[in-house]
Amino acid sequence: PTLPSPYPTSPPCLAAAAFLFVENNRVRPDHKPQYEVEQEEYVVRRHEFERRIKAKDIVVGDIILNLHHGQLIPADCRILACDHHTCVNNILFGYGAAELRVSEDDGGYLGAEPNPMDAENMIWRGSDITNKGIIQEAMVLKVGKQTQVGRTLKLMHALEEKADHQSFTRKEIGAAAMAFSVTAIIIMIISMIYMSLLPAPLPSTDMVIVAASVLLSCIPMGLLLSTMLTLRTSYSRMLVKGVNVKDIGSIEVMGGVSAIVTQPQGPLSNGHEIVAALVYLNDDGELHMTFPPSPYDKYTHTEEYAAAECQARGQQHLQKSALLACHEARYVTKEEDVNHTRWPAETHPHKKHLVPLHPYELKRDEVTGKRHRSFRWATRGEESDCAAIRFYHEHKAGFQIVHDETSTVGSDGVEHTHSMKVEADPVDVRDYYPKIFWSPYEPKRGFEIFIRCSGPGKDPTTNNSPRVVYIKGNPESVIARCTKFRDPAGPSGVHGLRPMSDADRKVLDDTIKRYSSEGLKVIAFAESEPLPLSNYSHNYKYMVNPAPTDKYTTGNFPLGEDSEAPNVHPRSVGGLIFNGLICTHDEVHDLEEAMSLCRQGDVRVIMTTPENAEHGLGLARKVGIVTEENTDLDLMEHNEIIRNLVGTDPAIGEHNYAEENRRLESLPQEQQDHVAHAMSDYLTMPVEEIIAKGYNKLIDPDYSTAAIVTADRVYNERTKQYADLEDMDSEWWERMFRNKPEVVIARCRPIHRQLVCLNLQRLDYTVALTGMGPEDAIALQDADIGITTPEASTMVQSAADVILTGGHFAGIVELIKEGRLVYENLKKTTAFLTVSNVPQMMGIFAHVWLQLPLPINATLVLLVDLVTNMIPSIAMAGEPPEKPLMLQPPRKLKTEPIITFKMIFFSYFQIGVIQAFAGMYAYFVVMADYGFSPAHLYEGGPKGNWGNAPLYCKFDGGKYVNTRGEIDTERNPTTQRPTHLYPLWDGSDGGSVMECVHPIRNYAGGGHFSLTASPINIGLASSYYHHGGAKTTGRSMITVETLDALEYNGFYEYIPFKARMSAFWKDDWLSYDITQSRESLSSNQIPYRNEEEEEHHRDKRIQGQDVLRYYQKPSLGLWSICLDDPLMEPAHKLEPEATSPYEEDGLKGFATWMFTASGNNGKEKDPDATSGKRKSLWGWYVGDGGRHPATPYEQLPKMAYNASAVGSTGCRRETIHDLSAETGSLYTHALFCNGDGYRVEKQFYKKGKPGVDPEKSWLRERLSWKAWGDGHKFHDDLFATEKPGMNESVLREKCAVLDNHHHQLAYCKTECHYECPRVPPEGRFNVTGFQEDTIKNPRQKKSDNPGAGWEVYGEGRTCQCANIASRMVQTEALYNARTAFLVAIVFCQIATVISFKTRWLSVVEHGLGNPLLNVGLFASLMAMALATYSPMLNDLLSTRPIRFFHWMPGLPWACVIIVYDEARKFFMRNTSRRTTNENGEQERVIGWLESNTHY
């Protein structure tokens, strides 16, 4: 499952997404073994033909033949024919859950059980045959995903999806990401709508960039990645501690766990049972207990004593019964023994036979230091059965079996047959008494059933000895079916029997309670008397659960059923023979500290066990789950003792303790004293203390805070009856969990564990549940966190969220601590990461709403979010807690999310606002230091002009200076423009900048945004023209008329002298050679040149993206509207460009013409005006049919009338009402000139260059001009004659008007310099080469020698030089200001990290003891320094190496953050206090600051 991701596509975001994808798929349930069966081949019968096919090709209806041991069953099948003793290891119930399977002819019937899973003639896909039985025929019923395993896995996947969907961490982070995303999108849409409604909206491409910046600034980019990295770090720490968390989101959820439902198997014990005690009748016919040597100290005796006890006939028979009732327990084989517990490593590869290791090894006890013998061989199977075979191996009961007979020929020539008796191996004993029938353990029945031959013979079909039924299971279930004892002292010796009396049952019950209360697992063994073969033949069909159509409800062989019960089979009645008890001990872990931490942390531990209540209580006390001295079970035993002393009154209910106590008080005093003395002896207390504490009376078990519940016998107060735990209502569950902090549930089945989990969740507990068997898989999925160990089945490991690789309950406690630490640190990290969004948003909004140059761009937002913020945020995962984690209450997942309103308010509107002020303050300080005050920046952002166009300002005083600081004494900045020798303005003498404006772009240009834009040569004016007019990729251009109007109104180009004093200043900007390399890497206009172009200073023919980038800035030359359209008629179809008040002030009188015709508002008439024609100031005659020059030379401009009132191209600046144009009108016709007219005539060709034809090249250039004219309005007139060069000459003569314009390209000899002598138009032979470059003499005749006539022109090359200083100063000042903005944010973020180390304590008290965080802060500083001073990163991130004192503006604000937060926490701690209420209890009063700011 993937979290909702609001992040846009970018390399850092893609890296984050890739990391999250890997993390989400790092651990997936591995069901592959269940699908490997599909590649196995099986023999099937289909349409009466047998064939061998793969399992994946098996279909319903096929008959699978001859399934044997070692094969997995490929489908759900119905058995048609099989051996009588075929056992199948049911995959659905885990290893060791083998079940007997029979065919329908042998009694198997699909409808015999209410649950088809229990039908004895069904086998399930993925199961295997565990013994040597063979299934001859099986019909396929279900295949693939329709099988039980397939449906179970499908359910598992569905539960996994449900669990992932409901994962609290994923849900929180996903919801937070969605909230941030929706908010960001709303803000972005509002901003885009606002920008589109501006009088001067941005171009669409620029608007998209700004929208992306808004989106990035509103989203905490590093939140998701930092969260996952924090969890990944915690995962690594937990892995070292022996806890494998499959889903890293589970770590944080564990911090909210408030209840753990566990069981004895798995985390509480080491899973290695040993026999601790035996209970049987000794040779004297008395009930006897034997304690073999054991690590269980209480039952440790000498080996000699144990060896003597093992020779007792009662114990021998008990051991035999245990072995024969042992299903498949065995020692590991060589292939399975990977740890070499039984078989040594094969150090000699040529040695074919290995000798098994000795079964014992000597170990030293870590506590006592004593050496003891330990059994080393590993086993396979159910652990209780394994304990039985290990015990038999240690203390053989004298079993001997007849070895195979051998024949030898004696010296007399006669053949003799010998047989030899040897000590039997446990597996040999089972084989010696072959199994006829087996029924697995059922919780409701309480025991497991085996039927074996009583005599030797491995083949049951030929073994004619009587059959014997063996059962083992719960003591109460087995003893209830027994009526006799195996009495070795009887008349028949070992086969002697005697009846079991009520006294015997009482002794057994007391013994069972005694051992169970000490945490021992008690297993009872019994057998039937031998069943004669006459009644139970070889073909007898044994059935435990008859078919529903059968009139009997019990089995058809002796099981000790009650003869008076209805529908009992006659052969199932009759008591069984009790053989004894085996008590096993599974050493528990030392969990005292872990349980103490759980109690401190308000985490309740509930234990469930399939054993009886006494065993559950004893084990719970051992591990520390139950600490209450008197549990309800103890109180019930206490009450039972008193009832036995004084008797009971049938009229008084069993649970009416008040009435029983009144009856007790009414008894004679002597009887009451007898009760008090008896309880004194029982509790070993003085009588006075017994009476004082009320122990001489009955006590209601509900008074106890510890509940020991027996799941199949729970008293329901509402019905006044005992019921199963499944039948209890929610009120009972709530009352128990509310009133009983310590709970143990005995005789617990899987459904009971599910009920415990679900009812705890209903009461708002966050539940962690441990499970080992496949039956626990669903309960593990129902729990908030499922926990298991590596010893569990594959299905359980797939269903669990956590695997305790160390197998220790303490690992759960460590995971809870880690989860609480992660939660605490995630809150700090989230608050820290969201803070930096505010200055980012403030910077973007200042650009969008206040129209300032962009203070922070998208790359810097990513740098802050994914680099400088990320390192400390990850390091914060290792921040130590402010107080012990297990002294804090568990987090309520549903009501205490990570991200809260208080956190957002604190991060955004308190600390975030301080950071925003810090960033903007640093931005304004740096911009002012380079000559741009905040007043100049207003409206510098819209239209994309900042750094892309020169800035024109009105000056009040000041002076013009050159780069050396020398003053121009002849010009007044208030009324005169600067010259090229003194281009800089200095206001150090008190001058000020009044208002500034960028020239409007009033030539609409042509074309559209395209990555395949028409190529141009940036130094060749003719290359700017294409068919249909100039193509400027849809961008508007600044015209010379706009510049003239600005200067006419007192706005002059502004290049601050303060910028000259900076480190980024370059004198070359004032006169930049356009044939050199790019002026900067970031958004350059002059493109990159290859080595050859660099060496020879060739003009660069650019195309594609270079053309787009080129037209983003003013063209290197001048566009003129007047030279193309003397009437300057605006494009009526285009909306006029909106202008600001400053722009309107600078463009007064722009594009207004006065035509002198009669009746023109009384104005002076043009003396050349004739009837029907009007003449403009240029001498253009305009008639009804359009523009028609009288002669070609009339196409040229003619200055007329008041020359002071016209611009450089003849545009008049007076406002006339009849033909006036609106300020900001766009024009679609303009002529581009860059002063290279003579360069066109004398184009450069290199001498001797092969394949170059100068004439052909000249023709190409001529056609370029003609192509422009082809789409022009008056091309019919211009190109009416075929005189070569005339048309080109006319256009060049038009451009000649602007050859010496002060904003035109400058032409210098050899190299560009702003103080170089300017080459006049007639001397501009721009060969872009050196002296050896020559040209063809145009006066050379065709008859002349073709090899002659090449001549050198001039001394060196003529350079085209552009003044790009104004826009470059803007760009560099903005980049420096952005860098200072970044530095201020990072400084404030460092202060924020230090402040956010604690949410309650003072940082001074908590300390800076997290070395990883300290390294992270240093790394953030280094990353910022690298981004500031690395040339490569400067170009990539648009940063600059700022001055040292430009690092300082953010420092005071960083100090403000620390002081503010420390003051807040100080007053928060002092306004929240503890008080004593009326009952004398301590209460904590939460102050206003804590309730509103403690996030």
| pLDDT digit string, tens, across residues 1085-1113 | 776 666 665 555 455 567 777 888 888 88
Average pLDDT on 143-160 reads: 66
Most confident by average pLDDT, 86-100, 234-248, 1140-1154:
234-248
Residue 721 has pLDDT above 90, yes or no: no
Residue 397 has pLDDT above 70, yes or no: no
Residue 156 has pLDDT above 60, yes or no: no
**pLDDT on residue 988:** 86
**pLDDT on residue 1028:** 45
Q: How confident is the model at residue 1333 (pLDDT cuts 50, 70, 90)?
A: very low
**pLDDT on residue 1457:** 96
Cβ contact 511:75 at 8 Å: no
**Considering only CA atoms, which of 728, 700, 698 is closest in space to residue 713?**
728
| pLDDT digit string, tens, across residues 620-654 | 998 899 998 889 888 888 888 888 888 888 888 88
Mean pLDDT of the chain: 77
**pLDDT on residue 909:** 92
Amino acid in position 189: I
Q: Which residues pair with 362 in a beta bridge?
A: 373
How far apart are alpha carbons 648 and 661 in whole angstroms?
Answer: 11
Residue 1450 has pLDDT above 90, yes or no: yes
Strands 447-453 and 435-439: antiparallel
Q: Which residues contact 1060 (CB under 8 A, 6 or more apart)?
A: 963, 984
Cβ contact 747:612 at 8 Å: yes
**127-136, 294-303, 710-719, 976-985: the lowest-pLDDT one:** 294-303
Q: Which residues pair with 585 in a beta bridge?
A: 274
Amino acid in position 834: T
Residue 1027 has pLDDT above 50, yes or no: no
Average pLDDT on 1147-1159 reads: 42
Q: Give 1256 or 691, the one with higher predicted confidence.
A: 691
Q: How confident is the model at residue 139 (pLDDT cuts 50, 70, 90)?
A: very high
Average pLDDT on 1471-1494 reads: 81
**pLDDT on residue 180:** 85
Residue 197 has pLDDT above 70, yes or no: yes
Residue 1452 has pLDDT above 50, yes or no: yes
**26-40, 223-237, 506-520, 525-539: the lowest-pLDDT one:** 26-40
| pLDDT digit string, tens, across residues 573-604 | 888 999 999 998 888 888 888 999 999 999 99
Average pLDDT on 833-850 reads: 89
CB-based burial label for 1345 (10 Å; 0-12, 13-18, 19+): exposed
How far apart are alpha carbons 98 and 83 in whole angstroms?
Answer: 15
| pLDDT digit string, tens, across residues 731-756 | 999 999 999 999 999 988 888 998 99
What CA dihedral angle connects 1339, 1343, 1346 and 1352, to 10 degrees? -20
Q: Which two tokens stand for residue 395?
A: 């203390």
What CA dihedral angle connects 45, 47, 53 and 54, to 10 degrees? -90
Residue 957 has pLDDT above 50, yes or no: yes
Q: How confident is the model at residue 1208 (pLDDT cuts 50, 70, 90)?
A: low
DSSP state of 1408: S
How far apart, in Å, are the Cα atoms of 633 and each of 608, 640, 651? 15, 10, 24
Residue 478 has pLDDT above 90, yes or no: yes
How far apart, in Å, are the Cα atoms of 385 and each of 58, 445, 710? 38, 19, 25
Residue 796 has pLDDT above 70, yes or no: yes
Q: How confident is the model at residue 1376 (pLDDT cuts 50, 70, 90)?
A: very high
- The whole-model pTM stands at 0.74
Q: How confident is the model at residue 292 (pLDDT cuts 50, 70, 90)?
A: low
How far apart are alpha carbons 1229 and 1121 in whole angstroms?
Answer: 6
**pLDDT on residue 418:** 52
**pLDDT on residue 1363:** 93
**Considering only CA atoms, which of 323, 806, 268 is closest in space to residue 586?**
268
**124-133, 1193-1202, 1324-1333: the lowest-pLDDT one:** 1193-1202
Average pLDDT on 1339-1355 reads: 39
Q: Which two tokens stand for residue 338?
A: 């990977």
Q: How confident is the model at residue 34 (pLDDT cuts 50, 70, 90)?
A: very low
Average pLDDT on 525-535 reads: 91
Average pLDDT on 711-719 reads: 85
How far apart are alpha carbons 571 and 106 in whole angstroms?
Answer: 18
Q: Which residues contact 836 (CB under 8 A, 6 or more apart)?
A: 220, 864, 865, 869, 912, 915, 1385, 1389
**pLDDT on residue 1424:** 92
Residue 1426 has pLDDT above 90, yes or no: yes
Q: Which residues contact 168 (CB under 8 A, 6 or more apart)?
A: 249, 252, 253, 256, 784, 893, 894
| pLDDT digit string, tens, across residues 1280-1291 | 333 333 345 566
**pLDDT on residue 21:** 60
Average pLDDT on 302-331 reads: 70
SS3 string, 297-361, reads HHHCCCHHHHHHHCCCHHHHHHHHHHHHCCCCCEECCCCCCCCCCCCCCCCCCCCCCCCCCCCEE
**pLDDT on residue 1133:** 60
| Burial per residue of 870-905, b for 16 or more beta-carbon CB atoms within 10 angstroms, e otherwise | bbbbbbbbbbebeeebbebebbebeeebbbeeebbe
Average pLDDT on 928-956 reads: 85
**pLDDT on residue 1183:** 34
% of the chain residues with pLDDT over 90: 22
Q: Give 1295 or 1081, the one with higher predicted confidence.
A: 1295
- Packing angle of the helix pair 750-762, 730-739 (nearest 10 deg): 70
Cβ contact 40:72 at 8 Å: yes
CA angle 372, 376, 378 (to 5 degrees): 150
Q: How confident is the model at residue 1332 (pLDDT cuts 50, 70, 90)?
A: very low
CA angle 773, 779, 785 (to 5 degrees): 105
**Considering only CA atoms, which of 166, 181, 185, 176 is closest in space to residue 226?**
176
**Considering only CA atoms, which of 1078, 1110, 1121, 1147 is closest in space to residue 948?**
1110
How far apart are alpha carbons 13 and 177 in whole angstroms?
Answer: 14
How far apart are alpha carbons 1428 and 926 in whole angstroms?
Answer: 15
**pLDDT on residue 22:** 63
Q: Strands, DSSP E only, in 382-462?
A: 400-402, 406-409, 415-418, 421-423, 435-439, 447-453
DSSP state of 1300: T
**pLDDT on residue 1250:** 45
Average pLDDT on 999-1017 reads: 79
Residue 830 has pLDDT above 70, yes or no: yes
Q: Which two tokens stand for residue 944?
A: 């994309």
**pLDDT on residue 1329:** 35
Average pLDDT on 1218-1232 reads: 71
% of the chain residues with pLDDT over 70: 72
Average pLDDT on 1339-1352 reads: 38
Q: How confident is the model at residue 776 (pLDDT cuts 50, 70, 90)?
A: confident
Most confident by average pLDDT, 83-97, 109-123, 167-181, 339-353:
167-181
* Continuous H helices in 698-809: 730-739, 750-762, 777-782, 794-799
Cβ contact 605:890 at 8 Å: no
CB-based burial label for 547 (10 Å; 0-12, 13-18, 19+): middle
Q: Which residues contact 771 (CB under 8 A, 6 or more apart)?
A: 263, 266, 753, 777, 779, 780, 786, 787, 788, 792, 796, 799, 800
Residue with structure tokens 């019994």?
526
Residue 459 CB coordination number (10 Å): 8
Q: Which two tokens stand for residue 488?
A: 């070795």
Residue 934 CB coordination number (10 Å): 13
**Considering only CA atoms, which of 763, 282, 710 is closest in space to residue 485?**
282
Residue 935 CB coordination number (10 Å): 12
Q: Strands, DSSP E only, in 461-502?
A: 467-473, 482-486, 497-499
How far apart, in Å, are the Cα atoms of 671 and each of 626, 638, 642, 664, 834? 34, 17, 11, 9, 77
How far apart are alpha carbons 1325 and 1049 in whole angstroms?
Answer: 36
**pLDDT on residue 1137:** 67
How far apart are alpha carbons 633 and 704 in whole angstroms?
Answer: 9
Residue 237 has pLDDT above 70, yes or no: yes
